[in-house]
């Protein structure tokens, strides 16, 4: 119950007062339900109390998140602006007393209360004062609503109860807002945790390698990540081009912005345009709503275009425009949209050869090839196989939720494989070997059961399943395989043709149905050392 120190007076027109209070209460409820912006809504509540009820010098004070002190969060404009931060310690003045007691305070005349602090320096000492508690979760007092009501003494009790009702309505808004802020903070904390986890999963630590070719890749990624330069990642299938794209994005200033991926070879041209640029409602059959494309979704961030060498000539011109100008239109739309997107592209194709034969635009090639990064095949970094194998076994161990390890005999066997499928084949082979291992140790037998021995490098005296060669022995040359072997990489196929042609490029080109210029491009881009005789 409120502390009422007012004398009893003649009966006023309480009916009119109740009607006015109901109108104010309804208006306050509408204001508080319309917005969750406390400073804005609290100011409107104080305006209603002043304009319709005659409550002057109204203010709302709330506890700080960090402690028990209160600070004035909103004040009516008749106060003329706060003189600075106005704060109240627990139990300090009338405001502190309301928080400590949890009761409404009614002063018929401020001048009669020596404990009134006059912090806001605007209150009329001859007029009454009412302060009502604002409650949070668990009935905790978290704030105070206060104002000077009209001076009719006989109505001060009713006005005090009305201020309690307004404070209760405000309490609901305060509780809701605090829940929302807590949930926002939880979401923010979870987002930050996920970002740290993603950066850890896609950082440099996930790209294993210490060979010179891999050190060069790491240095290129580290340097190019700082800038918005377009990157073209070149390499055979299974060499980790997407890992490189991830590392560039998550170590760049755009790391907190979207990272959107699109495999250009996975969609036909008509769907690729819609997927990349979006479409308007009704643009084609089945387009029942407007849809944003990957460029829009990646605005402010990075777009990774995998298999860029597979797009058609018509689409190449459309892509060139957005790369040059940052502008495009949705399919079926007339509005020109502008985006800020960093593009990372990847391909395992010989783009230079495609340019030479006219199937890939030269201007698009130069627009994409600003900063080329070549991912080396596994056969060029065989020294990384032991570290890669152990890293992958740990990854498989987590996925299978059991302890796994790999012994040295298994690693020696891995070192004798040709790895036409590169790192992806290595990971798949180890996963099969893990399944074949009942003890949790991937040994030579598990690797053989996984089917890896079918593609061992031929060598004198090596007959499966005899023990593999020790680490120190050099690997023998690979015999020239059939040119139509589907397991050959492009580099292996070119080398095989050169070997068969006695390293005469014109003859090798004929074997591959290429022009001499095309095979010259491939030799250069694939890093093949031409033997001289």
Q: Residue 153 has what pLDDT? A: 78
Give 403: exposed, middle or buried? Use CB within 10 Å, 0-12, 13-18, 19+. exposed
Domain boundaries, the chain: 3-181, 204-374, 380-455, 480-533
63: β partners: 70
Over residues 343-379, the pLDDT tens digits come to 999 999 999 999 999 999 999 999 999 999 999 999 9
Please state the rounded mean pLDDT for residues 511-531. Answer: 79
| Residue 15: strand, helix, or coil | helix
Q: Which residue has the tokens 């694939």?
A: 526
Average pLDDT, the chain: 84
CATH, domain range 204-374: 3.40.50.300
pLDDT for 474 beyond 60:
no
pLDDT band for 199, please (50, 70, 90 cuts): low
Q: Which CATH superfamily, name and number, covers 3-181?
A: GAF domain (3.30.450.40)
Give 526: exposed, middle or buried? Use CB within 10 Å, 0-12, 13-18, 19+. buried
d(CA 76, CA 48): 10
Q: Which residue has the tokens 């040994």?
A: 443
pLDDT for 462 beyond 50:
no
In the chain, helix, strand, coil percent, each to 5? 50, 15, 40
Q: Residue 343 has what pLDDT? A: 96
pLDDT band for 267, please (50, 70, 90 cuts): confident
CATH, domain range 480-533: 1.10.10.60
pLDDT for 40 beyond 60:
yes
What pairing do the DSSP bridges indicate for beta strands 405-406 and 441-442?
A: parallel
Over residues 204-257, the pLDDT tens digits come to 666 888 889 999 999 999 999 999 999 999 999 999 999 999 999 999 999 989
pLDDT band for 4, please (50, 70, 90 cuts): very low
What pairing do the DSSP bridges indicate for beta strands 327-329 and 336-338?
A: antiparallel
Q: Which CATH architecture fits 380-455?
A: Orthogonal Bundle (1.10)
Q: Cα angle vertex 143, ends 120, 89, to 5°?
A: 60
pLDDT band for 533, please (50, 70, 90 cuts): very low
pLDDT for 98 beyond 60:
yes
Q: Residue 162 has what pLDDT? A: 93
Over residues 58-94, the pLDDT tens digits come to 999 998 876 678 888 888 888 877 767 888 888 888 8
Nearest to 345 by CA among 266, 235, 253: 235
Over residues 489-501, the pLDDT tens digits come to 888 888 888 888 8
Q: Residue 14 has what pLDDT? A: 77
Nearest to 308 by CA among 270, 336, 337, 346: 346
pLDDT for 118 beyond 80:
yes
Nearest to 487 by CA among 474, 478, 500: 478
Q: Residue 155 has what pLDDT? A: 84
pLDDT band for 453, please (50, 70, 90 cuts): low
Over residues 139-193, the pLDDT tens digits come to 889 999 999 998 887 788 899 999 999 999 999 888 888 888 888 888 887 877 7
pLDDT band for 479, please (50, 70, 90 cuts): low
| Residue 60: strand, helix, or coil | strand
Q: Count CB neighbours of 114 within 10 A.
A: 5
Annotate 151-203 with three-state secondary structure.
CCHHHHHHHHHHHHHHHHHHHHHHHHHHHHHHHHHHHHHHHHHHHHHHHHHCC
pLDDT band for 505, please (50, 70, 90 cuts): confident
Q: Residue 195 has what pLDDT? A: 67
Query: Which residues 6+ apart lie within 8 Å of 447 measured at CB?
Result: 410, 413, 414, 429, 433, 453
d(CA 371, CA 225): 11
Asked, as a colleague might, if the bond just before 465 is cis with ω within 30 of 0, I would say yes
Same CATH topology for 204-374 and 480-533? no
d(CA 134, CA 168): 6
Please state the rounded mean pLDDT for residues 370-392. Answer: 93
Over residues 402-426, the pLDDT tens digits come to 999 999 999 999 988 888 889 999 9
259: β partners: 302
Over residues 283-330, the pLDDT tens digits come to 777 777 888 999 999 999 999 999 999 998 888 999 999 999 999 988
């Amino acid at each position: 119950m409120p502390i009422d120190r007012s004398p009893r007076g003649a009966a006023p027109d309480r009916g009119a007062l109740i009607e006015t209070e109901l109108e104010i209460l309804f208006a306050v409820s509408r204001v508080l339900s319309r917005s969750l912006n406390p400073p804005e809504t609290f100011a409107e509540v104080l305006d209603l109390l002043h304009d319709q009820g005659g409550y002057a010098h109204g203010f709302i004070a709330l506890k700080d998140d960090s402690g028990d002190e209160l600070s004035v969060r909103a004040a009516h404009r008749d106060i003329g602006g706060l003189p600075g931060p106005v704060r109240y310690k627990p139990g300090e003045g009338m405001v502190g007393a309301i928080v400590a007691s949890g009761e409404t305070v009614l002063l018929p005349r401020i001048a009669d209360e020596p404990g009134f602090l006059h912090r806001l320096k605007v209150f009329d000492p001859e007029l009454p004062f009412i302060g009502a508690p604002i409650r949070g979760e668990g009935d905790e007092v978290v704030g105070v609503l206060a104002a000077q009501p009209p001076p009719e003494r006989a109505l001060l009790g009713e006005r005090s109860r009305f201020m309690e009702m307004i404070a209760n309505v405000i309490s609901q808004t305060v509780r809701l807002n605090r829940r929302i802020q807590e949930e926002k903070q939880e979401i923010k904390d979870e987002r930050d945790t996920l970002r740290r986890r993603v950066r850890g999963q896609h950082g440099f630590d996930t790209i294993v390698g210490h060979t010179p070719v891999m050190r060069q890749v790491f240095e290129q990624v580290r340097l190019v990540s700082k800038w918005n330069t377009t990157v073209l990642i070149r390499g055979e299938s299974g060499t980790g081009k997407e890992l490189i794209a991830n590392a560039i994005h998550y170590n760049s200033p755009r790391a907190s912005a979207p990272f959107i991926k699109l495999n250009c070879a996975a969609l036909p041209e008509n769907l690729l345009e819609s997927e990349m640029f979006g479409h308007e409602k009704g643009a084609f059959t089945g387009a029942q709503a407007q849809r944003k494309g990957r460029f829009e979704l990646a605005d402010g961030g990075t777009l990774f275009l995998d298999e860029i060498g597979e797009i058609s000539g018509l689409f190449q011109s459309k892509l060139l425009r957005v790369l040059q100008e940052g502008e495009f239109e949705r399919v079926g739309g007339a509005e020109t949209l502008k985006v800020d997107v960093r593009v990372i592209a990847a391909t395992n194709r010989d783009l230079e050869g495609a340019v030479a034969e006219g199937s890939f635009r030269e201007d698009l090639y130069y627009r994409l090839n600003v900063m080329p990064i070549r991912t080396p095949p596994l056969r060029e970094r065989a020294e990384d196989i032991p570290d890669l194998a152990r890293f992958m076994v740990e990854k498989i161990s987590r996925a299978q939720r059991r302890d796994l390890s790999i012994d040295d005999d298994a690693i020696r066997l891995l070192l004798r494989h040709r790895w036409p499928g590169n790192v992806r084949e290595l990971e798949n082979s180890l996963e099969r070997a893990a399944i074949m291992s009942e003890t949790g140790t991937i040994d030579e037998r598990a690797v053989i059961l996984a089917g890896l021995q079918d593609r061992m490098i031929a060598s004198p005296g090596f007959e499966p399943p005899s023990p593999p060669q020790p680490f120190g022995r050099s690997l023998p040359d690979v015999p020239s395989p059939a040119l139509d072997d589907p397991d050959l990489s492009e580099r292996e196929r070119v080398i095989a043709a050169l070997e068969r042609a006695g390293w005469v490029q014109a003859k090798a080109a004929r074997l591959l149905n290429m022009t001499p210029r095309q095979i010259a491009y491939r030799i250069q881009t694939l890093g093949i050392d031409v033997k001289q005789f």
